[in-house]
Amino acid sequence: MAVPERGPRERMIYSAVQLIRRQGVTATGMREVAAHAEAPRGSLQHYFPRGKEQLVNEALDWSGRFAAGRIARFLAALPEPTPSGLFAEMVRQWTDEYREKGFAAGCPVAAATVDCAESVQSTQQAASAAFATWNGPVGQALMDMGVAREKSYALATVMISALEGAILIARAEQNVRALTTVVQELGPLLDAAVGQTAETPPDTSLPASS
């Protein structure tokens, strides 16, 4: 996650994302965020008058928008966009990070969900919105590749769910095995959806009597 020049507020949101990725919400303090962002402590109250809850929720919003924005970049990197190719790119950013930097960090939205979703309603809503923000461009990309509208957004949820689960297992095992496995096993299923029409429910009516 490259950091362009940002003001104190944006730096604190970015720092909150990075700290939540590594240690969760509960262990991330406001002063630690300010120090990480190299921002004056007094700016916390100025920019986040509702305190840590507001900062965490804005960090989740940033994370959802960041993940959504990456989809166009992943597609641009593919000579011929395919569902399996898009999913491989989504996973590759994590395998690259873990191979280069170790397994210390995960998804900030997942971390906040585990920490706060049941006890803090606004954070639960922010996490849900972040996943929806991410799901939208993935579903649209699949539809643009020829996946039926009725199936594209469901498969987007499958892709994100598989990636999130594989990230968790990779961190537990300190190994990218789960990430490479979901690419290998899910890729053919995703590509098979291209060109399929929506399934029609079977006719269960009784035959007309002669």
pLDDT at 202: 44
- 194 beta partners: 147
Check pLDDT > 90 for residue 197: no
Residue 159 contacts residue 87 (beta carbons within 8 Å): yes
Share of residues in the chain with pLDDT > 70 (%): 90
Which of 73 and 41 is assigned the larger pLDDT?
73
Domain annotation for the chain: domains and CATH numbers: 63-192 (1.10.357.10)
Q: How much is the average pLDDT of 102-114?
A: 95
What contacts 66, CB < 8 A, 6 or more positions away?
1
Of 51, 47, 57, the closest CA to residue 11 belongs to 47
> Residue 5: pLDDT band by 50, 70, 90 thresholds?
low
Share of residues in the chain with pLDDT > 90 (%): 80
pLDDT digits (tens, 9 = 90+) for 57-89: 999 999 999 999 999 999 999 999 999 999 999
Alpha carbons 30 and 12: distance in angstroms, whole number:
9
pLDDT at 3: 45
Pure H helices in 24-120? 30-37, 42-47, 52-76, 83-101, 108-116
pLDDT digits (tens, 9 = 90+) for 154-191: 999 999 999 999 999 999 999 999 999 999 999 999 99
Check pLDDT > 50 for residue 145: yes
> Residue 210: pLDDT band by 50, 70, 90 thresholds?
very low
Give the lowest-confidence range in 41-55, 69-83, 139-153, 169-183: 41-55
pLDDT at 43: 84
Q: How much is the average pLDDT of 12-27?
A: 95
pLDDT at 117: 66
Check pLDDT > 50 for residue 209: no
What sign does the dihedral 70-75-76-78 (CA atoms) show?
Answer: positive
Check pLDDT > 80 for residue 30: yes
The predicted model scores a pTM of 0.87
